[in-house]
């Protein structure tokens, strides 16, 4: 009996170590533009698959691992999540592989999909950095998102919000937002 418990505990610990190592390999090393770009290029096919899925699921505007928003309802819980459980599990699997703990947020006009990687702070103050897919060009663009954006890009009554982009490849950008 003791041997079985010891083997079970050893197996669980091995699995936990493997998961930590795989997560460390899969996630960007930092939030730097260079690390995020490298991560994006390594996982480009999966990011493109995520966009294709999100485009097909047109009435769902927010997809997280544990909730969804529809274009006509953000109530939760709700019987209609916008797609099947199998489809939601497919999204969850992509979120895990792409290090997207908050899932994605879709915008319209132009059609955009935000994929936050780095999330810090809480509403009403915080910042995030990640990837965004857009069918139309986005602006303002900067050469680097590693430094605080210049004051001229900040808006709002107290100049407390900024959203800027850096082109990556094709319709993909890095983005930085602070509010």
- Report pLDDT digits (tens) over 143-161: 999 999 999 999 988 888 9
So what's the pLDDT on residue 99?
Answer: 96
- Of 10-19, 25-34, 53-62, 112-121, the one with minimum mean pLDDT is 10-19
User: Whole-number mean pLDDT of the chain?
Assistant: 86
Contact 141, 160 (CB under 8 A): no
Is the whole-model pTM more than 0.85?
A: no
- Report pLDDT digits (tens) over 19-56: 333 333 456 678 999 999 999 999 999 999 999 999 99
Q: Please compute the mean of the pLDDT values over residues 128-151 and round it to a whole number.
A: 96
What percent of the chain shows pLDDT beyond 90?
74
So what's the pLDDT on residue 123?
Answer: 67
So what's the pLDDT on residue 130?
Answer: 97
Alpha helices (H) along the chain? 2-26, 33-42, 44-56, 85-97
- Report pLDDT digits (tens) over 73-83: 999 999 999 99
Full strand arrangement of the beta sheet holding 125-134: 68-70, 60-63, 104-107, 112-122, 125-134, 172-178, 162-169
Whether residue 13 has pLDDT greater than 80? no
């Amino acid at each position: 009996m003791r041997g079985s418990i010891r083997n079970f505990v050893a197996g669980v610990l091995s699995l936990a170590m493997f998961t930590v190592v795989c997560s460390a390999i899969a996630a960007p090393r930092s939030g730097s533009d260079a690390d995020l770009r490298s991560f994006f290029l390594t996982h480009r096919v999966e990011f493109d698959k995520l966009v294709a899925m999100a485009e097909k699921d047109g009435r769902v505007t927010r997809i997280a691992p544990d909730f969804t928003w529809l274009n006509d309802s953000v109530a939760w819980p709700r019987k209609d999540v916008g797609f099947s459980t199998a489809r939601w599990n497919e999204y969850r699997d992509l979120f895990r592989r792409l290090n997207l703990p908050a899932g994605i947020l879709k915008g319209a006009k132009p059609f955009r999909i935000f994929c936050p990687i780095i999330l810090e702070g809480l509403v009403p103050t915080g910042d995030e950095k990640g990837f965004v897919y857009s069918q139309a060009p986005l602006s303002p663009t900067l050469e680097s998102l590693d430094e605080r954006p210049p004051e001229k890009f900040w808006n709002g009554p107290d100049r407390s919000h900024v959203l800027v982009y850096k082109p990556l490849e094709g319709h993909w950008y890095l983005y930085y937002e602070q509010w």
